[in-house]
């Protein structure tokens, strides 16, 4: 089975409807990642076949559980999941953030070569980053433990915004959610071709949202 067939089959199993153009761009992104990885060591996975399941399908598995709006991908690394989600949802806006300039340089080049207009990338530490607008959703994939993820990004969350943390088995991390915040759902995920536990944790912070609402009003 070639890469295109594996991606198509995986999307069908996930219930994710992708256009032919989106699937083509994802494979182009994978080709760029494989090429740059030889020099810049962007990911430990070297085999393109493995990259389909471990990178593309792993990122797409969360798609049915996300919501429209402005998204921030924290600790995006080589662009996962943000680049994949941006290709899948061209009508949503994505900002990718990482403190590693080598990785953000690759992401910027991939944005240009793929002709994506709904995604931008910034190189900065999340705790120090102060954008002009807040986000409707903040997502991470293996960025840090759940409590640290929320604490380090809550200054970036918009009113009614929620966090989406991609995890393996998150049970031990749930108790670390900061006071005033709560876990809404823990969604088990099955990623085709990936024999490992995967889940998506959706969290919110009503108190913080009320504070941010007031600051945005002023």
| 136-182: pLDDT as tens digits | 999 999 889 999 999 999 999 998 999 999 999 999 999 999 999 99
Q: How confident is the model at residue 206 (pLDDT cuts 50, 70, 90)?
A: confident
**Residues whose CB falls within 8 Å of the CB of residue 19, separated by 6 or more in sequence, listed in order:** none
Strand partners, 166: 141, 200
Can you identify the CATH homologous superfamily of domain 3-217? Answer: Vaccinia Virus protein VP39 (3.40.50.150)
Single pTM value for the model: 0.93
For residue 218, what pLDDT is reported? 47
CB 52 within 8 A of CB 130: no
Instruction: Determine phi and psi for 84, rounding to 5 degrees.
Output: -65, -45
């Amino acid at each position: 089975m070639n890469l295109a067939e594996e991606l198509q089959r995986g999307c069908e199993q996930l219930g994710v409807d992708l256009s032919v153009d989106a699937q083509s761009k994802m494979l182009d992104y994978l080709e760029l990642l494989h090429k740059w990885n030889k020099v810049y060591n962007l990911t430990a996975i070297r085999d393109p076949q493995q990259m389909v399941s471990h990178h593309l399908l792993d990122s797409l598995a969360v798609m049915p559980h996300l919501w429209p709006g402005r998204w921030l991908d924290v600790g995006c690394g080589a662009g996962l999941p943000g680049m994949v989600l941006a290709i899948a949802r061209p009508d949503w806006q994505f900002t990718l953030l990482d403190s590693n300039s080598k990785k953000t340089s690759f992401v910027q080049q991939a944005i240009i070569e793929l002709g994506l207009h709904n995604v931008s990338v910034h190189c900065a530490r999340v705790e120090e980053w102060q954008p002009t607008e807040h986000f409707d959703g903040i997502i991470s994939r293996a960025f840090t433990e759940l409590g640290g993820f929320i604490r380090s990004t809550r200054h970036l969350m918009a009113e009614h915004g929620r966090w989406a943390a991609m995890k393996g088995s998150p049970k031990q991390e749930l108790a670390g959610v900061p006071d005033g915040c709560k876990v809404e759902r823990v969604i088990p995920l099955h990623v085709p071709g990936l024999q490992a536990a995967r889940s998506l944790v959706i969290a919110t912070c009503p108190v913080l949202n009320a504070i941010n609402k007031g600051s945005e009003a002023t």
